Amino acid sequence: MTELSQYHVSLGARLAPDQIPIHYGDQAAEYAAASAGAILLDRSHEGRILLEGPDRFELVNRMSTNDVSQLALGVGKPTVFVNANARILFRASCFSLSRGLLLISEAGQGEALANYLRRNIFFGDKAAVNDISASTAQFALHSGTANKAMEKLAPDAHQLPPLGCVEIDSDDGILIVARRKLICGEHWNLIVKRDAGAVVHRRLLSIGSEYGLIPAGSLTYNSLRIRSGRPAGLELSSDYIPLEVGLWDEISFSKGCYTGQEIIARMESRGRLAKTLVKLALRSMVIAPAPVYARNIPVGRLTSSAAAPDGQIHALAVVKIDRAHAGTDLSVGPDRVSASVLDFAGAQPPFIRAKASAIGGR
């Protein structure tokens, strides 16, 4: 067990096999703090890959959906790596730092993404892939008062624009501070040296205590993530194309060639999509994955579900477009648990909302 893991245990954490806290003994308090105060999570299981060399931007640009070719210093963009059939392989948030291009992967995918990048370095490319996950720790602050805690910890960083990033010299070494896409209020990421992780985490809790900041685990994060409609896990798999799972805003439709571009561009230009990601309200808990039905006819798949401490059951599903408009009654799983579509999830192509509105108005 690492020093950081032991520190989490001292706070009452129950750890997952990857040493990430599942909860700290009171998930209801964690969930409530996400609305009334702020929460601090250990997200060190998200990979951190530093690309160096003059061709670092081109390497990512030719392999993924968003345009990172001219990413200015201190600016970030999320992007999706897909195969030749435009099926999702990886998703990453990219941030341009003075020492290189930082990629933050989805949980548990850092090593695989690093290896994928290495395999796609061409002869003559001036780029190096360094997986810094093991030597660093990563924390996330969420919710309304997170800005106040960040302002005290890093005064030079708290006014960063959305998807901005900065490196800060501190007594604990270089801190990388970044703002990421919202899940519950503000969303800050802080990357520190691994051996300084416990110290920085403790300092953050001390600084944020007056603003209601408490530690929270992955169960709380998952409930908030699903409630917000943020795709992860089963949504980000080779079963789907980015447009089908609410990643419209992570695709450039004007940049040059990249792997899988032709299929994605054709879907967008024709304004056609067979299925899309929606938020569901479930009457009772169903573990994902599970089939989704409309009048006993299969129309999609449940991809995420979580029972929140307030009794609400949050879920995401990929369903046919004609079943994606709000208020559609569905059933889920072998027991046909009642469900209702609440809204689309993630960022949708404009033509999807227009089509669903037309169907819903019939």
Instruction: Work out the pLDDT band at 351, boundaries 50, 70, 90.
Output: confident
Residue 154: the pLDDT is 83
Distance CA 200, CA 186 (A): 19
> How confident is the model over 152-211, as pLDDT tens digits?
888 877 789 999 999 998 888 889 999 999 998 899 999 999 999 999 999 999 999 999
Q: Was domain 47-131 assigned CATH 3.30.70.1400?
A: yes
Residue 152: the pLDDT is 85
State the pTM of this model.
Answer: 0.95
Buried b (16+ CB within 10 A) or exposed e, 241-261: bbbbbbbbebbbeebeebbbb
Residue 272: the pLDDT is 86
Residue 170: the pLDDT is 83
Do residues 8 and 15 make contact, with C-beta atoms less than 8 angstroms apart?
Answer: yes
Mean pLDDT of the chain, nearest integer: 94
Count of residues making up the chain: 362
* Domain 271-360: CATH class, spelled out: mainly beta
Residue 301: the pLDDT is 98
> How confident is the model over 61-107, as pLDDT tens digits?
999 999 999 999 999 999 999 999 999 999 999 999 999 999 999 99
> How confident is the model over 250-280, as pLDDT tens digits?
999 998 899 999 999 999 888 889 999 999 9
Q: Hey, what's the torsion of the CAs at 57, 58, 62, 63, to 10 degrees?
A: -50
> How confident is the model over 204-249, as pLDDT tens digits?
999 999 999 999 999 999 999 999 999 999 999 999 999 999 999 9
Going from N- to C-terminal start, the domains of the chain cover 3-44+134-226, 47-131, 271-360
Segment 105-112 shows an average pLDDT of 98
> How confident is the model over 9-46, as pLDDT tens digits?
999 999 999 999 999 999 999 999 999 999 999 999 99
Fold agreement (47-131, 271-360): no
Residue 83: the pLDDT is 97
CATH, domain range 3-44+134-226: 3.30.1360.120
| 297 SS3 class | strand
Residue 347: the pLDDT is 93
Is residue 357 predicted with pLDDT exceeding 90?
Answer: no
Return the HEC string of 318-354.
EEEHHHCCCCCEEEECCCCEEEEEEEECCECCHHHHH
DSSP sequence for 84-109: TT--EEEEEEEEEETTEEEEEEEET-
Distances (CA, A) of 242 to 10, 94, 350: 41, 17, 15
Residue 89: the pLDDT is 98
Residue 335: the pLDDT is 96
Instruction: Name the residue type at position 286.
Output: V
